[in-house]
Structure 1
Amino acid sequence: MRALDEQSHAPSGIPALPSITWGSHIGQLFGSGADLHDTLVPYFRAGLENNERCLWVTDAPFSADEARAALRAVVPDLESREACGQIEIQDSAAFYKNGEPFRPAALVAGLVQRERDAVSAGYRGLRTNGNCAWVGQTHWNAFLDYESQVQDAVRGRRLICMCSYRHDAIDGDETRDVLDRHHLVLRNTRSSQPRTALCDANAPGIARLPQETRIGEPIGDFQEDVDAIQAIAAVPTILQVICRTTGMGFAAIARVTPQRWVCLAVHDEIGFGLKPGGELSVATTLCHEVRQARDVVAIDHVAEDARYRHHHTPARYGFQSYISMPVFLRDGSFYGTLCAIDPKPAKVTDPAVIGMFRMFSDLIAYHIEAEKHLAKAQADLSDARLVNGLREQFIAVLGHDLRNPMAAISAGATLLRMSGLGERERAISDAISRSATHMTALIDDISDLTRVRLGSGITLRRTREGLEPALQHAVEEMRLAYPRRRIETAISLAHPVEADPVYVARLLSNLLKNALIYGSQTEPVSVTISADDDFVLSVSNAGPPIADSLKAGVFSPFTRGAGPDDHPGLGLGLFIVAEIARAHGGSIDLTSTDHATTFTFRMPLAIDR
């Protein structure tokens, strides 16, 4: 698992996001030069220490000179790294050539070429940041086109791109544009440390709730909120992980309004007595203060805090440690809190704990939004003539929106593995990471299926470079995923091949996974790749042959063979293989006998111009 993480992830330097997947396009919403300093200095320091080439394109309120000075303070040999070309720091006016026509395609092509040059020079990849504060209404639509092209270009590359936008200079629609064109968006608040609050609770343990404040059944006008949170399968695991990681005995998700505090989900190991649907007087809670301040409240030890030791809330409920993280919806509105309490002190102001709560809060918000999108889509499907088209458009949008929670899940699992977990908790975090990887693959399959069904088809980025390394990487990933299986390869590319390396590698991965799952579990899988008159890629496995009656349907969507039950999927793997082959102007053939089952992909070495 560690080797797979090192190949697919890079350290971020950002406490709330300990690692970043290669091929990520990240947005940042900042409010000041200090926000840029706090995020980008550790971000680039991590890249330099990870042997990455870096490009920092900055602008007011954090000039290139200021950026260079700030980075030099934590990277003493910065001048030598600049001199050898490991990092380049530019003002945006020079990089984007202000005053000249804005050419998105040329900028993206230059970015991809920088990534190829970095890898060729022996670096792990390319890490970038661009300050987009200069983009006004005149260039907004053209810059959105650029961002969309970057979103496509980073896929499958050793490239991490972060784009910084000043949040008080863009309106709500423009903020949505930014969210839609990045895999993940970070939002800075000026308070870099959590707002701490402690209190004077002299009770020896958690107090049972007074009967008049404990309500056992869901409150009428919050029933939909209770049902929505209860429907999120990950919530029980999130609350359990919070308690095990922090050592606290009670964790909950609450809906908080100016008038109401309603429990939506709970994990209770200390007998606090609150159930889903239970309600507290909002004025008696610290979540009331969280809602007003729109910021986290974290308390390590109530009795030792001068400000909160006499506060009525810990005195009423008897806790010594407390943390409450706000949950914000996509439009910035306050929804509620993710909170935890315990009668004993706990170290909850630790940045790692704050980061974990923030990521889980974001994940919960994304699930809530996805449920709203789903409900709206189901209502729209009442017209039978629109069922198929709307369903596939919805899948495309949902597939994009699911990438944010998947990134949060992956980062959260990595954060948990970095902390001092026991064997059982580490097994849980490993399971979360494997599930996130599996879900990301399913999202890719759904996205490609939708492109085909909606008529746009798979969009290729053909090149004559990078195919063989991409194929070797696909094989090594399968070897890591199936360490007990043997994969024999014979790769010989005598001539250049014009293809999309990312998609051809994905075709190989799908064929390999199919062979490893459905073929003989004791015999090796054989991969043969050549480029003579045509480019030919074959994957063969021993095992029972595919019946003639089934061969015609293996490339249809949602078709799965009679394989092991522990390899669930959507049945899209071979359908995607066929579509990748078609997009390249090639063919995919199947032969299956008692001796072997072989899939062969064949295409011209180059397209006719």
Structure 2
Amino acid sequence: MNAQLQDAWEAAREGVLVFAEDRVLYLNPVAAALLGVEREKVLGRPLLLTLRDHKLEALCRIGGESTIETRNRTLWAKAIPGILLLWDQTEERNRVEALEESSRVLAHEFRTPVAGMLSLLEALQSGLKGVDADEALQMLYLETQRLRRLVEDLPLTRLPSQERTFALEELQDRLERFLAPQLAAKSAWIRWQIPHTIRANPDAVYQALLNLLDNALKYGSGSEIVVISGEDANGVWLEVRNQGQPLEEFEKLFQAGQRGLHAANVRGTGLGLALVRRLAGGWGGTAYGRALEKGNAFGLTFPRPAGTPSDRQVNQSFV
């Protein structure tokens, strides 16, 4: 083998494997890493035992190029007589998938304020007057501000986190007003028990709690929805509880595009709970679900701020 050519292959960013009569003659460090083998141990061995993938082995026999999933990687592979070239496209695939997921999440995130703004504009166009019109304009202003903050939070224009310490009760009236049409349509109401104070981005908590309440209205049964907070050694927890058939599995519901069996007849994208978990992660908390005796609870956690005494036991956990 030409020494200069071998030096070039050794330094190449692509994986290079040379073979003859179905046996490995040479492979560079990148190819060895992509295939998960040790070079010294595979030289002279059968090609299939080195590749350990029938699709790659077939490509070597028939030639051509293909994108192949193997060893938890996405490989672009091209075979010409006696040579197999490999290029790791895993990161590129992950970036594309992340971009697609972000697009879906952003569409879901924007849908709620836009829908609310359209409803308010329609009410104003229908002739809303006086105090009702003033209240509708105020709500429209708040939703416009929230939409602006969502735009500012896009990856290309992200500003420092607008976290502050606030009482959960601050969100109550705003949520009640926004959900009023849905509550009236289902003859439902919300019982609030949220006396705690947390540190987070209020708009993020509002969006997460709105998604949980929307979830309860869509999929729960019964008229009462309970929003309750509690505190333990780890911090504050906040739950939305609704009546209905207890679920057996919760974790997959927090994955984008996943919906439970109970959602079969309800229109939705399967992104609401995935977004809730993403928002919770932004303030250092998490999102979870659990079954109740006659219903289900979906909750959020808020970590105890650094320096806050943790020996205070307010043992209200999951009452």
> What's the TM-score, normalizing by structure 1?
0.27
Q: Which is greater in Rg?
A: 2
More strand by proportion, 1 or 2? Answer: 2
> What's the TM-score, normalizing by structure 2?
0.47
